[in-house]
Amino acid sequence: MNELSHILIRAQKDIYRYLSGSNLSNFLGHGYDFAELVEYNIGDDIRDISWINSAKRGEIYVKKMHEEKDLSIVVVAMMEGRMMVGDKLETLLQTTASIGYLANHQNELFSGAYTMDKSALALMPPSKSKEAMEHYIKELYNQQPLGESIEYQQVITQLMERLPQKALVCIIGDFLDDIDLSSLAYKHDVVALLIRDRAEENPQYQSNAQLIDPSTNQASSKILTPRAIKHYQKKLQEHDDKLFEHFGTHRIRYTKIFSTDEIIEKLSKVFA
Amino acid sequence: MSLLYPIALILLPLAGCFIYCKNKPKEIYFSKLDWLPKSYLKFDRDRMVIIAIFIALILTLATPYLYSSYENHHKKGRDLVLALDTSGSMAQSGFDSEDKFKSKYDIAVELTQSFVQKRLDDNLALVIFGSYAYIASPLTYDLSGLGEMLHLMSSVGIAGDSTAIGEALFQSIQALKNSPTQNKVIVLLSDGVHNAGSISPKDAVEIAKKQGIKIYTIGIGEGYDKEMMKLIAKNSKGKSFDAKNSKDLKTVFEQIDRLEPSPLRSKGGLNAEKLHIYPLIVAILLLGYLVFREIVVQRAES
């Protein structure tokens, strides 16, 4: 049995253990989950008027409900060189597979996308079939991202163009570069899954190490001294603070996933 | 400050290897190299410590030393050989009125020791004799070294149980062979009768006389050949003393102390103080620091 089969089996097993309820959309629309009661404005659907509340208050009120529809789940894997650091690629594959099985179990439309080269985006058509989803994972597994870097904004633009319908977009990457998801989040429900390696957040001092940039596959003359590590960690902290602020502003749900984490537990929290 | 083995400094350029000829380093993929500062390029503190250890060890090898300030130009003194009898009879006790169990030999060594420590201006040699004689220490001004030799190289019976006074004198003359001073002295300590060895005391005294060596004889206890000891001293323009007990022996040594010193030599060897221990200490401390740091890092990881 190869590594991919292991990943798929592990993901399936986790899903069956942790199955949780359906997704709650950030968007308001037709559904059964009550969101809020607001005064009637011109343009509101008269079918939403809450007659009981309107009678009580003497004004016309409408009930806003969480939108509930056949939600299409789109997983976008940011396949760049940095994914080869530590066990990040494996974590990414397992996270993707978990979401795939979850969607499959809930009979939702699943669509997988991954980046190729600098800015190209491969997007498979939405499907409810388990085989299609597994095929997507296999495609991901066969990628050789070492030496690749990504133009994030171009990828986002393409994604916007190719996703006309509102969808739950899960972007899986390490988010170590600056990224602007505001336009995407305006149209879609966006979940950011940060795949990180422990050694990436807490690098250990190495006196005789040759550092290689996975985005270019080029060796660097820089070295990991305790002082350099401190400097790096400060930069990382600043970057993450900025990133999370951006996510907060645009109502983007996010979580950090390390290879040692229970992936499904992290997912269930972010999708709850 | 000078170096005893400056040739060791040839190794110094190898220190550059710690920077330039790294052994095959471990390759690590690092996600955000942009976030690592550039200024720490190569100047890794640990590598600096390793280079410092290397340099300190090379300095240790090169053995730096300092000349001590005093020289021997104006020193006055004698070249003096102590010929100490270690024949079986020296083991007899009862010689000291205070400690009856102390042997003649113990007392002789003890007093010789204190005598030696006062001979700051003299060059001393040590000859041990019994059935035969040998030079336990050549002429030296390293008094503490000689004191150690006195303990290490001699014990009762070490050179046999008989008494070869002729050979003892001959070995003493040998020890003085290269001495440039005028004032050459042999101090012969014995408690017995010449009864061994291939050289007679008479012949030995003749040689001593020719070379202008004075022989002071010290007879210990009662059973020694008084006449011969006197004759040896007389023929070599020395003096003969008897020591019936430890007090007498002390007095004898004090008398010899008072004998007139003479200029020792025009040029003196210089006393070198070796300093190699200091760079070695530095290397050990730095190495200790590295080991300590490694332990701390490993603890933090686990």
**Can you give the pLDDT at residue A234?**
93
Q: Is B165 left (phi over 0), alpha (psi -120 to 50) or beta?
A: alpha
What is the distance in angstroms between the Cα of B74 and the nearest Cα belonging to chain A?
Answer: 59
**Can you give the pLDDT at residue A171?**
94
* Overall average pLDDT of the B164-184 stretch: 83
pLDDT > 90 in chain A, percent? 36
Residue range A195-212, pLDDT digits in tens: 999 888 888 887 677 889
Q: Cβ of A201 under 8 Å from any chain B Cβ?
A: no
**Can you give the pLDDT at residue B152?**
77
Burial bucket for residue A152 (CB in 10 Å: 0-12, 13-18, 19+):
buried
**Can you give the pLDDT at residue B266?**
43
Can you tell me the distance from the alpha carbon of B28 to that of B36, in angstroms, rounded to the nearest whole number? Answer: 14
Say whether both A17 and A141 belong to one domain: yes
Residues 143-162, chain A, touching B (beta carbon < 8 A): none
Residue range B157-169, pLDDT digits in tens: 777 788 888 888 8
- DSSP at B260: P
> Which site among B32, B42, B46, B302 would you substitute to test the A interface, given the most A Cβ atoms closer than 10 Å to its Cβ?
B32
Length of chain A: 272
- First-to-last CA distance in chain B? 48
Say whether both A58 and A133 belong to one domain: no
Q: Please list every residue in chain A whose beta carbon sits closer than 8 Å to the beta carbon of residue B33.
A: 211, 213, 220, 222
Q: Please list every residue in chain B whose beta carbon sits closer than 8 Å to the beta carbon of residue A91.
A: none
Least confident of A66-75, A217-226, B78-87, B201-210: A66-75
* Cβ A40 vs Cβ A49: under 8 Å: yes
A40 assigned to some structural domain: yes
Between A13 and A30, the higher pLDDT residue: A13
Say whether both A99 and A18 belong to one domain: yes
Say whether both A35 and A161 belong to one domain: no
Domains delineated in chain B:
2-68+271-301 (no CATH), 76-263 (3.40.50.410)
CB spacing of B46 vs A84 below 8 angstroms: no
CB spacing of B29 vs A236 below 8 angstroms: no
A224 assigned to some structural domain: no
DSSP letter string, A80-99 = -GGGGSTTHHHHHHHHHHHH
Q: Please list every residue in chain A whose beta carbon sits closer than 8 Å to the beta carbon of residue B35.
A: 231-232, 235-236, 239
| Strand residues in chain A grouped as ranges (E) | 28-29, 33-39, 61-66, 72-77, 109-116, 120-123, 167-173, 189-196, 209-213, 218-219, 253-258
**Can you give the pLDDT at residue B57?**
94
Say whether both A148 and A266 belong to one domain: yes
Say whether both A15 and A32 belong to one domain: no
A208 assigned to some structural domain: no
Residue range A48-78, pLDDT digits in tens: 888 888 898 888 888 877 665 567 899 999 9
Say whether both A47 and A137 belong to one domain: no
Q: Please list every residue in chain B whose beta carbon sits closer than 8 Å to the beta carbon of residue A239.
A: 35
**Can you give the pLDDT at residue B267?**
46
Can you tell me the distance from the alpha carbon of B115 to that of B108, in angstroms, rounded to the nearest whole number? Answer: 10
Can you tell me the distance from the alpha carbon of A265 to that of B297, in angstroms, rounded to the nearest whole number? Answer: 32
B77: amino acid identity, one letter? G
**Can you give the pLDDT at residue B161?**
80
Average pLDDT, chain A: 86
Can you tell me the distance from the alpha carbon of B279 to that of A184, in angstroms, rounded to the nearest whole number? Answer: 66
Strand B26-29 relative to strand A253-258, pairing? unpaired
pLDDT of A133 > 60? The answer is yes
A210 assigned to some structural domain: no
- With CA atoms as reference, report the closest residue to B15 among B47, B62, B63: B47
A81 assigned to some structural domain: yes
**Can you give the pLDDT at residue B104?**
79
Q: Residue holding tokens 């002789």?
A: B108
Record the tokens describing residue A124, joined without a space: 């498979």
> Which site among A89, A92, A197, A210 would you substitute to test the B interface, given the most B Cβ atoms closer than 10 Å to its Cβ?
A210
Average pLDDT, chain B: 80
Work out how many CB contacts closer than 8 A connect A with B. 86
Count of domains forming chain A: 2
A126 assigned to some structural domain: yes
pLDDT of A193 > 70? The answer is yes
* Cβ A252 vs Cβ A242: under 8 Å: no
Say whether both A47 and A77 belong to one domain: no
Say whether both A17 and A117 belong to one domain: yes
Using only C-alpha atoms, what is the Rg of chain A?
A: 21
**Can you give the pLDDT at residue A64?**
79
Q: Please list every residue in chain B whose beta carbon sits closer than 8 Å to the beta carbon of residue A207.
A: 44, 46-47
Which ipTM did the prediction report?
A: 0.75
Largest pairwise CA distance in chain B:
100
Residue range A92-103, pLDDT digits in tens: 999 999 999 888
Residue range B48-65, pLDDT digits in tens: 888 899 999 999 999 888
Between B298 and B39, the higher pLDDT residue: B298
**Can you give the pLDDT at residue B16?**
83
pLDDT of A265 > 90? The answer is no
Residue range A136-176, pLDDT digits in tens: 999 999 988 888 889 989 999 999 998 888 889 999 999 99
Say whether both A93 and A42 belong to one domain: no
The range of the structural domain enclosing residue A47 comes to 28-66
Between A262 and A30, the higher pLDDT residue: A262
Can you tell me the distance from the alpha carbon of A195 to that of A175, in angstroms, rounded to the nearest whole number? Answer: 8
**Can you give the pLDDT at residue B44?**
66
pLDDT > 90 in chain B, percent? 8
Between A239 and B159, the higher pLDDT residue: A239
Record the tokens describing residue B59, joined without a space: 């300095």
- With CA atoms as reference, report the closest residue to A87 among A257, A264, A269: A257
Say whether both A8 and A35 belong to one domain: no
CATH of the domain at A181: 3.40.50.410
- With CA atoms as reference, report the closest residue to A65 among A90, A95, A28, A98: A28
Q: Which range scores top for mean pLDDT: A236-240, B95-99, B120-124?
A: A236-240
Say whether both A76 and A123 belong to one domain: yes
Q: Please list every residue in chain A whose beta carbon sits closer than 8 Å to the beta carbon of residue B42.
A: 221, 223
- With CA atoms as reference, report the closest residue to A205 among B188, B121, B296: B296
Record the tokens describing residue B6, joined without a space: 């400056």
CB spacing of A227 vs B37 below 8 angstroms: yes
Burial bucket for residue A28 (CB in 10 Å: 0-12, 13-18, 19+):
middle
CB spacing of B35 vs A236 below 8 angstroms: yes
Tell me which residues of chain B have a C-beta less than 8 Å from any C-beta of chain A: 22-23, 25-33, 35-38, 40-42, 44-47, 297, 301
Q: Cβ of A224 under 8 Å from any chain B Cβ?
A: yes
**Can you give the pLDDT at residue B265?**
45
pLDDT of B270 > 80? The answer is no
> Which site among B20, B29, B295, B302 would you substitute to test the A interface, given the most A Cβ atoms closer than 10 Å to its Cβ?
B29
> Which site among A218, A232, A235 would you substitute to test the B interface, given the most B Cβ atoms closer than 10 Å to its Cβ?
A232
